[in-house]
């Protein structure tokens, strides 16, 4: 088994003495793709900045290639690069922005070819864009130039912090394609933080959920935020709109976050009772079916009012071919299977 490119041990990072990220242990294999999902403020960006050696952790250490590393260390300076959410460029031409990384590496060779190749990789015509100033680009173009500035370095690790959030669909697709090409052509390790779970589930070897600064499990999961309203029977519910309710076990507090494993939710068959002992149900509509690359499992996204629940599709449904997009379904689950944080 190859040595992990990253090993994070007992990492704690604090802002103003408040812990914002706590990771006991995390290992990332070379040339793998790791996804990070979680709500805003869950610590994704902080983790990526720590992994990019831009921040120094308050406690614990990050081992790169088995060696402890810190910001500006020669062992990591030219190995890891981070693309942030906002398309930020220096006040220079596109060419100089892309060539900057080569320049700081002391690369004296002709930069024209690598810069042109990097621009082409993100779908920008080198003849048109090379001489443009930083303020003569649209948001999507600026983010693609920023991506090209990373790709020209052929990094061993490319960290992407919600790289497609503030760009149009076409730019988003080009950035995604370019990042995957970096992995396939150069064996670049990718760590991607994104709210686009489907993309992550589709391309990642592993997806980690971050919640309130801590890893809260891997793979597909339903993370449902409060507030929760108590019922008379000791259970609680959340209003989903259209008169629907999501019933849950008693949360530790009214604003707690519920986690429901997609495997714990069942799509009821025709004629099955909507609720039996210890189970509750909610009606919804299938909006998407997707296949998980690693496990081969099929998952359905079911829209129930304002909430979309991910459900692992049972083999019986697969065999009967009873699921289609737009199909109304009833979901059943046991409230006591819900985890709280």
Partner 1 sequence: MDFILAGFIEAIRLLFGGDSQTWSAVAATVKVSSGSMVASLILGIPLGFVLGYFDFPAKRQARLLVDTALALPTVFIGLVVYAFISNRGPLGEMGLLFTLPGIAIGQTILALPVVTALSATAVESMDRHLRTLLISLGASRRQLLLSSLWEVRYGVLAAGLTAYGRVMTEVGISMMVGGNIKWHTRTITTAIALETGKGMFATGIALGLVLIAIAFSVNVCLSFLRKK
Contact set with partner 1 (CB under 8 A): 49, 52-54, 71-72, 77-78, 80-84, 86, 88-91, 100-101, 104-105, 146, 149-150, 153, 159
CB-nearer residue toward partner 1: 90 or 170:
90
Largest CA distance in the chain: 74
Rounded-to-integer distance, Cα 284 and Cα 213, Å: 31
Least Å distance between CB 279 and partner 1?
48
- Which tokens in the block code for residue 7? 């090993």
> Alpha helices, DSSP H only, in 138-285?
139-151, 169-186, 197-203
Least Å distance between CB 55 and partner 1?
9
Least Å distance between CB 185 and partner 1?
20
Rounded-to-integer distance, Cα 137 and Cα 154, Å: 24
CB-nearer residue toward partner 1: 86 or 336:
86
CB-nearer residue toward partner 1: 167 or 282:
167
**CA angle, 177 as apex, 135 and 8 as ends, to 5°?**
95
Least Å distance between CB 174 and partner 1?
20
Rounded-to-integer distance, Cα 54 and Cα 239, Å: 42
Least Å distance between CB 58 and partner 1?
16
Half-sphere exposure of 145 (CA within 13 A, CB side): 32
Residue 245 — φ and ψ, nearest 5°? Answer: -130, 145
CA 311 to chain centre: 19
Least Å distance between CB 180 and partner 1?
20
Cα distances from 60 to residues 34, 156, 169, 228, in angstroms, run 21, 23, 39, 36
Least Å distance between CB 199 and partner 1?
22
- Terminal-to-terminal C-alpha distance of the chain: 34
Least Å distance between CB 72 and partner 1?
6
CB-nearer residue toward partner 1: 54 or 63:
54
Helix (H) or strand (E) holding 121: helix 112-121
CB-nearer residue toward partner 1: 65 or 198:
65
- Which tokens in the block code for residue 179? 């990042």
CB-nearer residue toward partner 1: 192 or 329:
192
Rounded-to-integer distance, Cα 205 and Cα 163, Å: 19
Starting from the edge strand earliest in sequence, which strands make up the sheet with 229-230, in order?
229-230, 236-241, 244-248
Helix (H) or strand (E) holding 47: helix 44-51
CB-nearer residue toward partner 1: 38 or 101:
101
CB-nearer residue toward partner 1: 182 or 329:
182
């Amino acid at each position: 088994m190859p040595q992990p490119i990253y090993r994070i041990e007992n990492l704690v990072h604090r802002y103003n003495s408040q812990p914002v990220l706590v990771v006991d242990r995390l290992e990332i294999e070379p040339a793998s793709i790791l996804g990070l999902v979680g709500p805003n403020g869950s610590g994704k960006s902080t983790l990526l900045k720590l992994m990019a050696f831009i921040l120094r952790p308050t406690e614990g250490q990050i081992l790169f290639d088995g060696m402890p590393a810190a910001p500006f260390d020669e062992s990591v300076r030219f190995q890891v690069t981070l693309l942030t959410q906002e398309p930020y460029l220096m006040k220079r031409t596109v060419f100089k922005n892309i060539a900057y990384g080569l320049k700081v590496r002391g690369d004296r060779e002709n930069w024209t070819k690598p810069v042109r190749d990097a621009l082409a990789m993100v779908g920008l015509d080198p003849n048109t864009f090379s001489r443009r100033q930083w303020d003569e680009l649209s948001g999507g173009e600026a983010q693609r130039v920023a991506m090209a500035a990373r790709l020209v370095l052929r990094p061993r690790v490319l960290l992407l912090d919600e790289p497609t959030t503030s760009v149009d669909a076409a730019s988003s697709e080009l950035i995604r394609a370019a990042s995957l090409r970096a992995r396939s052509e150069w064996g670049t390790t990718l760590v991607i933080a994104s709210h686009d779970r489907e993309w992550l589930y589709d391309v990642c070897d592993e997806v980690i959920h971050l919640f309130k600064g801590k890893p809260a499990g891997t793979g597909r999961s339903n993370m449902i935020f409060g507030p929760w309203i108590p019922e008379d029977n000791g259970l609680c519910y959340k209003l989903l709109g259209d008169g629907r309710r999501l019933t849950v076990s008693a949360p530790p507090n009214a604003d707690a976050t519920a986690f429901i494993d997609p495997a714990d939710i069942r799509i009821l068959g025709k004629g099955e009772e909507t609720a039996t002992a210890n189970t509750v149900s909610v009606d919804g509509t299938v909006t998407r079916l997707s296949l998980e690359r690693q496990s081969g499992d099929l998952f359905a996204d079911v829209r129930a009012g304002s909430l979309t629940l991910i459900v692992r599709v049972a083999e019986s449904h697969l065999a009967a071919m009873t699921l289609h997009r737009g199909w109304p379904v009833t979901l059943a689950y046991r409230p006591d299977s819900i985890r709280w944080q």
